[in-house]
Structure 1
């Protein structure tokens, strides 16, 4: 007899889809779910096979948590609670769970599933990494230095022609040993390049910051200049000077943003500075310093803009201040903080 087939696992690129699927499942259990909400869900499911796969996985998690009946289908709307008898080693336990509590549990399970997969990949790829809330300084073979922020990872690939560091996750401040083509036999002639997502940054001087967010990467000049280009358009180069920032994704690059000369100093002092930043990006950065995973349930809320200066060591206080500013609610669960 052949073993039952297993669903194909989603790739790391689908992390956001996994959380979207869990969010849809949570919303569907809400008593305020409307016919138009069901239509929106069906459009999302029909838009991509990956969406349907992620949603099916979220349903399986829900079932394993004991919140589904024997049919394996989502209950009819309006049901306030479900119960299930589960055999344990020494008897039977009857469990009852409120819908919203169950939905939050599914959301938490989805977040943990997403995080577990990415952590396993990092263990194979990264040469240097940090945990949540940890900062680390690394000396590279050529004398360059990398200052890793929380929950960040890099892979180092040096050869006779190139010095390349790949930012796999998070953020890092780079102090690159500058190129000296006219020096002696020990002078550094290889370019120093940081690859991240869909582009790369080449040092023209020494110090700069590269940060990977959920949907894009941003590069901040700190001392001297850097060149930023996209992998599929290497000839189109943007020069970033100290106090400037550029962001890019697979579609292109933004215009240069002027931040001020102290951008690097704020980072090194352990400050998180946001100037009309999208909440989704803010949460992405705070997650590197918060022991529980922070998620935003509502897409419209995730697009709201946030300004402020916060300590990396007080991500919880930052979340409370942001929630108050936006008029949102915080739901605290084991290992998870939901912004509603």
Structure 2
């Protein structure tokens, strides 16, 4: 990123925010004479303001030549707050400012800055520098920070399966709800808004929720559980379909139709709705996540439902009349 913007002089966060606010306001339409005067006063009040303004103008001109999600958000975000955050981050990153790991985790657009990510409906396989294998599920994002002392993988959103390589440096996996320390482990980690779910296939994993004050919990092979920032649930045996997404499959074992459609909806864009009248129908089987249209057609054959498509992006599964 720094190379793309030629690393201009450092710009403080407060000034960056001011410059972004002015740019967003100008993009919304011509300034009134009073606001024009206020902008000129701000611009000439300090040399740092002028540096920030010149730099963000250059960034704004170059954004359309970039394909990154952050550039897309800066140009096309539907809400001005999202666009303002994206522009601010580009300004700070391009300026070579000391934007730390901590700042990245605090900002709401963090997934846009992820080291590795996947869009909706795609999966990705990665080999990390230490030899670990990392697989990302649909709509997922991670940051990876390896140095001489430690290895840190932060799951920003979505789901990942990690096969950890043995290394003298400790390995830590962070989520919004706590930290995991795998030891020779192969594990699946999925982050929800209110919890994180883990499934351990091999090795052992030490779990410590963010706000927990006691000892860590060791999760053994063939166990899974969910945890919040305060506590964890009782470990239980692995579900039959744990990790099946890495093979492009969704496994259902007497699953409610409503829950099944939520899972299937993760792999397609748009809205996939379930009529409450059929929400409690049970479904079993193995289904390909890469062909959700075919799966929906199969549901119409195997269950007393019909698929109502307003568009490809607005689909409802409802009771068959």
Gaps of 5+ in 2: 1-76, 87-108
Shift of 1:253: 2.0
Aligned to 1:124, the other structure's residue is in SS state helix
Are residue 312 (structure 1) and residue 289 (structure 2) matched?
yes
| Equivalent in the alignment of 1:271 | 249
The total of aligned residue pairs comes to 216
Q: 1:287 to 1:256 in 2, by over 3 A?
A: same
Partners of 1:280 and 1:197 lie apart in 2 by 26
Q: 1:117 to 1:296 in 2, by over 3 A?
A: farther
Are residue 243 (structure 1) and residue 222 (structure 2) matched?
yes
Aligned to 2:216, the other structure's residue is in SS state strand
Aligned to 2:112, the other structure's residue is in SS state helix
| Equivalent in the alignment of 2:315 | 337
Q: 1:204 to 1:315 in 2, by over 3 A?
A: same
Are residue 206 (structure 1) and residue 194 (structure 2) matched?
no
Verify the 8 A CA contact 1:230 1:236 in the aligned structure 2: no
Shift of 1:296: 4.8
Q: 1:214 to 1:232 in 2, by over 3 A?
A: closer
Shift of 1:157: 2.2
Q: Which of 204, 209, 213 matches 1:225? A: 204
TM-score computed with the length of structure 2 as normaliser = 0.55
Deviations 1:135-166 (A, max 9, x none): 21112222222111122111112334331111
Deviations 1:294-330 (A, max 9, x none): 24575x9778875442212222344455678786664
Q: Which of 137, 140, 143 matches 1:155? A: 143
| Equivalent in the alignment of 1:128 | 116
| Equivalent in the alignment of 1:37 | none
Partners of 2:193 and 2:283 lie apart in 1 by 17
Gaps of 5+ in 1: 1-111, 179-187
| Equivalent in the alignment of 2:134 | 146
Partners of 2:221 and 2:228 lie apart in 1 by 21
Verify the 8 A CA contact 1:243 1:263 in the aligned structure 2: no
Shift of 1:231: 0.8
Q: Which of 167, 170, 173 matches 2:161? A: 173
